[in-house]
């Protein structure tokens, strides 16, 4: 079999000998854009069964079929980490979702804060960005992008066993304190442009399982802060070690 140069996310179950039907868009991409033909190889993953190499069994303009041959990667689950962020401008929100998927978030939670400028999101579009990021970075898991939720409602139902890394732009300190906190369930909270409101900051500081950290001596843009925060968390508590 030829070496697979294309990775494709599918929703169909994967396994040795499993046939995978393609929809119109997938068939157009593989056969119309990438010019694959019968016998060519494609790497498939569905977020549940790991990665499989498959060969093209049927190639048409509007449909096609792939046949799974062998597993090439097991399912690699990320740490139990949520990235909770306030949506900003469209392209920068897309960037946050893509980088969260690449860097190992298990769940991506858009949240509406008092200073959030965007009052709604296209969850399906953001989920597609998470899928695309997993396709490109070699991941076998795709994090769920949840519906936009108000921060006060999110905190009202917050599980007691999930720790919070609260990125407080008003704080200048170190993140080493995270290493002393027990627990393998975490969430990172990133505020909008303008930061969290005083009321929101006060509420977070009052929570026993919220741990305020600084991301350095300079105020970062929200999209930069998301990447910086995930880097800090992964290095201290995640699976980068």
Residue 170, pLDDT score: 76
Place of tokens 């469209």: 90
Residue 173, pLDDT score: 58
Residues 6+ apart with CB under 8 A from 107: 81, 82, 83, 143, 144, 146
Residue 172, pLDDT score: 62
How does pLDDT run across 172-181, given as a tens digit for each residue?
655 556 767 8
Residue spans of the chain under pLDDT 70: 1, 172-177, 179, 241
Residue 52, pLDDT score: 98
pTM summary value: 0.91
Please give the Cα distance from 118 to 112 (Å, whole number): 8
Bridge partners of 186, per DSSP, are: 81, 163
User: Distances in Å between the alpha carbon of 35 and those of 40, 61, 114, 227?
Assistant: 10, 11, 49, 36
């Amino acid at each position: 079999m030829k070496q697979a140069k294309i990775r494709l996310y599918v929703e169909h179950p994967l396994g040795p000998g499993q046939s995978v039907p393609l929809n119109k868009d997938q068939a157009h991409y593989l056969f119309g854009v990438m010019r694959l033909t019968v016998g060519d190889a494609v790497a498939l993953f569905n977020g549940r069964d790991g990665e499989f190499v498959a060969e093209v069994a049927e190639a048409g303009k509007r449909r096609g079929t792939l046949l799974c041959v062998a597993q090439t990667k097991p399912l690699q689950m990320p740490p139990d980490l949520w990235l909770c962020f306030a949506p900003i401008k469209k392209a920068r929100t897309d960037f946050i979702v893509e980088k969260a998927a690449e860097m190992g978030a298990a769940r991506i939670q858009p949240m509406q804060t008092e200073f959030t400028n965007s009052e709604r999101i296209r969850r399906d579009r953001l989920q597609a960005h998470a899928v695309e990021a997993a396709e490109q970075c070699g991941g076998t898991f795709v994090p769920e992008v949840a519906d936009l939720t108000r921060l006060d409602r999110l905190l009202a139902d917050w599980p007691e066993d999930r720790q919070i890394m609260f990125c407080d732009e008003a704080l200048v300190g170190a993140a080493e304190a995270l290493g002393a906190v027990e627990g393998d369930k975490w969430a990172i909270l990133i505020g909008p442009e303008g930061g969290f409101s005083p009321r929101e900051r006060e509420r977070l500081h009052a929570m026993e399982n919220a741990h305020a950290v600084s991301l350095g001596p300079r105020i970062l843009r929200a999209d930069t802060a998301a990447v910086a925060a995930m880097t800090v968390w992964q290095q201290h508590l995640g699976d980068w070690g």
